[in-house]
Amino acid sequence: MKLKVLVVAGDGIGPEVTAEAVRILRSVAELGGHDFEFREAVIGGAAIKAHGTPLPESTLEAALESDAVLLGAVGSNEFNALPPDKRPEAGLLQIRQALGGYGNLRPAFAWPSLAVNSPLKPEVTDGADIIFVRELLGGLYFGQPREWNRETNSAYNTMRYTRDEIVRVARVAFELAGSRRQKVTSVDKANVLETSQLWRATVTEVAKDYPGIALDHQYVDSFAMHLMNIPRNFDVVLTENLFGDILSDEAAVITGSLGMLPSATVGGKVNLYEPVHGSAPDIAGKGLANPLGAILTGAMLLRHSAGLDQDAQAIETAVRKVLEAGYRTADLVRGESKQKLTTQEMGQKVFEALNEIIDRSQALHAV
């Protein structure tokens, strides 16, 4: 398998966590005999320093020539005084838009050994394994017209969807459900909003092409409550941009630490993979960052851009084993006597666990 990955590590803890994710991906390539090529480019504050712009043309070109883009995080307090379109975060929005991904996948998974890290009771989070499919390029965030009229002291945004925008993201959700527990929950506000009525009718129509997948519809307000009461009831959750933004953050409490969360944006010219967290300037350069979100993002890259599902699973199993063995980065320590590791040490533990898993499965195949 040949794969060209552009690594844009970005700012703050971005380079620290991305280095560990790349180490794991290199290890998968070596052990599995794959040919992965990693190129590096700058984005965000690092790009402003080097090129005066948060997304240099050279970075965008390299991204468009790649099979996948692995991004760390952007954002630096140094540039807080710049106008929004010149700040590091503008680079992130620009690359997301240029790559054109419309399906944002965000897993919310209850790692059994991290149950104590969630503010929810273990009996509530136990068994939760959800993946959100959030529509990323439509709805209220992009709809025109939009305005804040300072003279009349009024403002408005437009929530707009076309059937085609809904069909393409719904297909992402149904395909995913096929490789999981065969269930899609579509979340809308069809009792009030016309966009949601179109959403519900379109999703129902798309579902006919996937007879093996169970579909249910929920209103966003009651779904927000059920998500905290019985998260294990959900498999794939499909929703529009604004609802997905809010609900996937709400679901993050199931996992218990921002540092554990991966994400993927699919459907565009090139898929974009990034951990959910930001550049965390408060802990940057101190070896305190949790690299597991970035490493799990690497697993998503293998699954969705390389079709290497077994290798992705091997990474996820390695992370589980390291957590079960009691290893923790600072953000995961909760007063118990766990072994506290630096970013690099945690990467090393996952590396060792992964090598053991892949060695063992190769030995089994050889028998």
Q: Is 67 designated active site?
A: no
Which listed residue (331, 346, 351, 354) binds ligand NAD by CB under 6 A? 331
Which listed residue (101, 259, 267, 347) binds ligand NAD by CB under 6 A? 259
Q: Is 221 designated active site?
A: yes
Q: Is 331 designated active site?
A: no
Q: Which of the following is catalytic: 11, 102, 161, 189? A: 189
The answer to the question of residue 54 lying near ligand NAD (CB under 6 A) is no
Q: Is 11 designated active site?
A: no
Nearer to ligand NAD, 206 or 275 (CB): 275
Q: Which of the following is catalytic: 11, 188, 235, 245? A: 245
**Rounded Cα gap, residues 273 and 278, in angstroms:** 13
The answer to the question of residue 74 lying near ligand NAD (CB under 6 A) is yes
Least distance to ligand NAD from the beta carbon of 166, Å?
A: 25
- Contacts (CB under 6 A) with ligand NAD, residues 80-119: 89, 92
The answer to the question of residue 7 lying near ligand NAD (CB under 6 A) is no
| Of 25-33, 68-76, 200-208, 313-321: span binding ligand NAD (CB under 6 A) | 68-76
| Of 148-156, 192-200, 283-291, 300-308: span binding ligand NAD (CB under 6 A) | 283-291
Per-residue interface string for the shown chain with ligand NAD, residues 12-41, x marking contact by CB under 6 A: -x---x------------------------
Nearer to ligand NAD, 18 or 202 (CB): 18
Which listed residue (115, 193, 258, 333) binds ligand NAD by CB under 6 A? 258
Least distance to ligand NAD from the beta carbon of 146, Å?
A: 22
Binding site for ligand NAD (CB under 6 A): 13, 17, 73-75, 89, 92, 258-259, 274, 277-283, 289-290, 293, 331
